[in-house]
Amino acid sequence: MTTKQLLGNLRLGDSDLASIKDAVRDAESRTTGEIALAATGESSDYSFYELFAAVIAGALVFALILAFHTPIEALIARSFWREETWYFPAFCGIASFAAIALCFLLANAPTIDRIVIPRRVRSARVYNRSIRHFAESGVYATKERTGILIFISWMEREVRVVADSGISGKIPQSEWDALAASLATGIKRGDTARSLLETIAKCGEILARHFPAKNENPNELHDGLVILEAGE
């Protein structure tokens, strides 16, 4: 999924991205905490599950052909001047392979992916990807260990809020999980921009209560929404 497609799915335009960046700056001005945001089309490559589902579909087609082999063989006999013994096996192979190829192609659609990939697998991959970006983007390396990451994974329909160690000791993860669930609901509703702005403001309020701004309050992280390539 390209950046343009992801932003289109999230219904975010240039003005929305600018508003999000401004909202982060405003929230961070009242706290020593840092707020980072990232979004990706999908958090992992699920080719194994897509291929497995396609093979199952091919096996089902093969089983159906065997169950109705008599009328199928009769149809083949009527369709050719001369019937060869290899026609039916060839038909079985071609039909099964075509079913596998078609299902594998369809399984790349996000809606189908959410059906064939177990929820627990999707959730684990989103968690792993969010932790990886948390480390790679330097959210973990703020001076007072007070960075949080708001991570959106489109295909999996999941949002994660990951907080650094300086925050987790004072603010329970359940509070961040509630904000993540609220944001996910807003995205599903097609109201990503407003939901993100509300989430950023609430994150800023929570951080300001526990980590108020000091005289020196450097901006340590990128303020805007970072778009990650799917599976990157």
Q: 37-71, pLDDT tens digit by residue? A: 999 988 888 888 888 888 888 889 889 888 888 88
Residues 69 and 123 in one domain: no
Looking at residue 187, its pLDDT comes to 93
Residues 124 and 139 in one domain: yes
pTM of the model: 0.80
| pLDDT-based confidence at residue 166 (cuts at 50, 70, 90) | confident
Note whether 88 and 69 are within 8 A (CB). Answer: yes
- Split into its structural domains, the chain has a count of 2
Among 61, 95, 115, the domain boundary falls at 115
Separation CA 51–CA 48 (nearest Å): 5
Residues 80 and 138 in one domain: no
Separation CA 156–CA 128 (nearest Å): 13
Q: What is the DSSP letter of 224?
A: S
Residues 178 and 210 in one domain: yes
Map residue 228 onto helix, strand or coil: strand
Number of Cβ within a 10 Å radius of residue 184: 18
Note whether 126 and 151 are within 8 A (CB). Answer: yes
Among 75, 94, 115, the domain boundary falls at 115
Residues 213 and 127 in one domain: yes
Sheet holding 225-228, edge to edge: 158-163, 147-153, 34-40, 225-228
Residue 17 sits in a domain whose CATH number is 3.10.310.50
Calculate the alpha carbon distances from 151 to 60, 100, 154, 160 in Å: 38, 34, 10, 5
Residues 133 and 165 in one domain: yes
Residues 93 and 72 in one domain: yes
Residues 135 and 184 in one domain: yes
Q: Return the amino acid letter for 113.
A: D
Q: What is the DSSP letter of 111?
A: H
Residues 135 and 212 in one domain: yes
Separation CA 225–CA 35 (nearest Å): 10
198 lies in which domain range?
A: 3-44+119-228
Residues 221 and 126 in one domain: yes
Note whether 150 and 37 are within 8 A (CB). Answer: yes
Among 97, 115, 133, the domain boundary falls at 115
| pLDDT-based confidence at residue 144 (cuts at 50, 70, 90) | confident
* 15 pLDDT above the threshold of 90: yes
What is the percent of the chain where pLDDT is above 90? 38
Looking at residue 206, its pLDDT comes to 92
Cβ-Cβ contacts under 8 Å for 175 (sequence gap 6 or more): 206
Residues 109 and 139 in one domain: no
Cβ-Cβ contacts under 8 Å for 35 (sequence gap 6 or more): 24, 27, 28, 147, 148, 150, 200, 203, 204, 207, 221, 223
Average pLDDT over residues 88-108: 85
- Stronger pLDDT, 163 or 78, i.e. the higher one: 163
**Cα angle 55, 154, 107; round to 5:** 15
Residues 52 and 33 in one domain: no
Looking at residue 127, its pLDDT comes to 93
Separation CA 157–CA 152 (nearest Å): 8
